[in-house]
């Protein structure tokens, strides 16, 4: 029998796999380790319980060549020491910014640890990206991470029992499910901060990728990237991705939002799919050369598109290439930034007795011509 295209399995040049031994470390009295998920089509995700980080993600291109499409490192120490704090990480308790690092619940003010000027970013310096999760692998395609965030950790109220489940299924979907319960009223907004380059991590740019975002509106920000409270149409702005555009096409725009964001770093208000028992289509992105394509589906009302504007080239990644300015992107599904202080935005309040449950799917395929 001739070898059909589907039977071949090749790694792209320069790709190596992470070694578990480089991720074994004791932190905060817990053991950090590396966990591997693999599906029947050969897709593979390596995840560490340090920050719940996706260490590598192997996805095929049009010729069934597998490449690692997420930024990161092959040792735990590099993750810990990196200038970029969020590579591949789970983000909590609150993805994106909370203005002035404060909010109030029932008349009580909570002061958060500020780590972004006067604001709180991604849960603060000791956020979920930097904690060690308890890990369990019920099967070779599933990783269950749990973490009990104590009352007032980083300033957030309530003991928050959190479970994040990664599943790499045979539909070539990486499914991330977030669950949490609290014993006091609190605000919560969990997400994943995977940085992607569909041409393979370490490739020089993502500005050639084509991106579509299912959003008629976005939430504009001020110069400190805190929402103004407005919801504006994307129409006639560089944030109009309702049809495919190359990311770089309008990247030099002098639109104030592009100036404030130093490029793309904005929350999009996802259009509803009118079928609320299915996840909402959020975005689709593909690399025109390899034709690797990623679609994002989510139960969340918003998504941050971040174009890697803060990458500087100082960090050198898994195959020895520097992570250059705008050489990877993030699609962070979420509630809107600063919701605790924005009365017009969907609420992020979680009460005792309620269950926080959200799901996001990153689905991989090959873009047809």
CA distance 204 to 314: 13
Nearer to a second copy, 236 or 275 (CB): 275
Rounded least distance, CB 97 to a second copy, Å: 17
Rounded least distance, CB 184 to a second copy, Å: 14
Asked if 48 and 56 count as a contact pair (C-beta separation under 8 A), the reply is no
Asked if 334 and 189 count as a contact pair (C-beta separation under 8 A), the reply is yes
- Please tell me whether residue 350 binds a second copy under the rule CB under 8 A: no
Asked if 136 and 164 count as a contact pair (C-beta separation under 8 A), the reply is no
Rounded least distance, CB 272 to a second copy, Å: 5
Nearer to a second copy, 211 or 303 (CB): 303
Rounded least distance, CB 110 to a second copy, Å: 11
> Which uninterrupted H or E stretch holds 136?
strand 134-139
CA distance 51 to 53: 5
Q: Which of 336, 356, 362, 364 touches a second copy by CB under 8 A?
A: 336
Q: Which of 216, 253, 289, 319 touches a second copy by CB under 8 A?
A: 216
Q: DSSP assignment, residue 141?
A: T
Q: Which of residues 170-189 bind a second copy (CB under 8 A)?
A: none
Nearer to a second copy, 153 or 338 (CB): 338
User: What angle is formed at CA 310 by the lines to CA 77 and CA 314, rounded to 5 degrees?
Assistant: 50
Nearer to a second copy, 219 or 360 (CB): 219
User: What angle is formed at CA 345 by the lines to CA 307 and CA 114, rounded to 5 degrees?
Assistant: 60
Asked if 358 and 178 count as a contact pair (C-beta separation under 8 A), the reply is yes
153 as an active site residue: the answer is no
* Alpha carbon 268 to chain centroid, angstroms: 14
Per-residue x/- marks for a second copy, 219-258, CB under 8 A? Answer: x--------xxxxxx-------------------------
DSSP 243-271: S-EEGGGGTT---HHHHHHTS-EEEEEEP
Rounded least distance, CB 18 to a second copy, Å: 38
Torsion sign, CA atoms 181, 178, 192, 283: negative
- Please tell me whether residue 341 binds a second copy under the rule CB under 8 A: yes
Rounded least distance, CB 357 to a second copy, Å: 12
From the candidates 193, 209, 266, 335, give the one annotated as an active-site residue. 193
Find the part of the chain contacting a second copy (CB under 8 A) among 1-9, 69-77, 106-114, 288-296: 106-114
Per-residue x/- marks for a second copy, 52-91, CB under 8 A? Answer: ----------------------------------------
325 as an active site residue: the answer is no
Q: Which residue from 365, 330, 361 is spatially nearest to 91, judged by alpha carbons?
A: 330
Task: Give exposure, 143-181, as e/b (b: 16+ Cβ within 10 Å).
Answer: bbbebebeeebbbbbbbbebbbbbbbbeebbbbbbbbbb
Rounded least distance, CB 234 to a second copy, Å: 11
Residue that the structure tokens 């689709």 belong to: 284
From the candidates 300, 315, 332, 335, give the one annotated as an active-site residue. 332
Q: Which residue from 245, 205, 227, 195 is spatially nearest to 337, judged by alpha carbons?
A: 227
Find the part of the chain contacting a second copy (CB under 8 A) among 1-9, 49-57, 101-109, 316-324: 101-109
Size of interface with a second copy, in residues (CB under 8 A): 33
Tokens of 355: 């269950």
Nearer to a second copy, 154 or 338 (CB): 338
Active site residues: 193, 332
Question: Residues in the site for a second copy, rule: CB under 8 A?
Answer: 104-109, 216-217, 219, 228-233, 269-272, 274-278, 301-302, 336, 341, 343-347
């Amino acid at each position: 029998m001739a070898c059909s295209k589907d039977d071949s399995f090749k790694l792209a040049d320069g790709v190596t796999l992470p070694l578990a031994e480089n991720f074994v470390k004791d932190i905060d009295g817990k053991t950090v380790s590396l966990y591997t998920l693999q599906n029947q089509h050969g897709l593979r995700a390596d995840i560490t319980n340090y920050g719940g980080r996706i260490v590598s993600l192997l996805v095929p291109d049009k010729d069934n060549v597998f490449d690692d499409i997420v930024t990161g490192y092959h040792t735990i120490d590099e993750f810990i020491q990196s200038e970029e704090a969020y590579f591949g990480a789970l983000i909590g308790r609150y993805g994106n910014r909370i203005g002035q690092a404060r909010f109030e619940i029932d008349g009580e003010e909570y002061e958060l640890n500020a780590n972004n000027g006067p604001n709180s970013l991604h849960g603060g310096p000791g956020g979920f990206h930097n904690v060690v999760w308890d890990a369990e692998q019920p099967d070779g395609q599933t990783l269950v991470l749990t973490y009990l965030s104590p009352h007032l950790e980083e300033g957030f109220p309530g003991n928050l029992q959190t479970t994040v489940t990664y599943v790499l299924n045979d539909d070539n979907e990486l499914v991330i499910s977030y669950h949490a319960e609290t014993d006091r009223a609190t605000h919560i907004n969990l997400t994943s901060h995977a940085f992607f380059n569909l041409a393979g991590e370490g490739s020089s740019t993502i500005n050639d990728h084509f991106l579509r975002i299912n959003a008629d509106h976005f939430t504009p920000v001020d110069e400190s990237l805190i929402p103004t409270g407005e919801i504006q149409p994307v129409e006639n702005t560089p944030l109009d991705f309702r049809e495919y555009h190359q990311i770089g096409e309008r990247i030099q725009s002098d639109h104030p939002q592009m100036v404030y964001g130093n490029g793309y770093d904005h929350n999009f208000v996802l259009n509803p799919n009118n079928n609320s028992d299915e996840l909402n289509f959020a975005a689709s992105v593909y690399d025109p050369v390899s034709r690797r394509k990623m679609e994002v589906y989510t139960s969340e009302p918003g998504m941050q598109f971040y174009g890697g504007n803060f990458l500087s080239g100082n960090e050198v990644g898994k195959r020895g290439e520097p992570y250059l300015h705008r050489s990877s992107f993030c699609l962070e599904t979420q509630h809107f930034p600063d919701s605790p202080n924005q009365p017009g935005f969907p609420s992020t309040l979680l009460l005792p007795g309620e269950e926080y449950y959200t799901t996001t799917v990153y689905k991989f395929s090959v873009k047809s011509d």
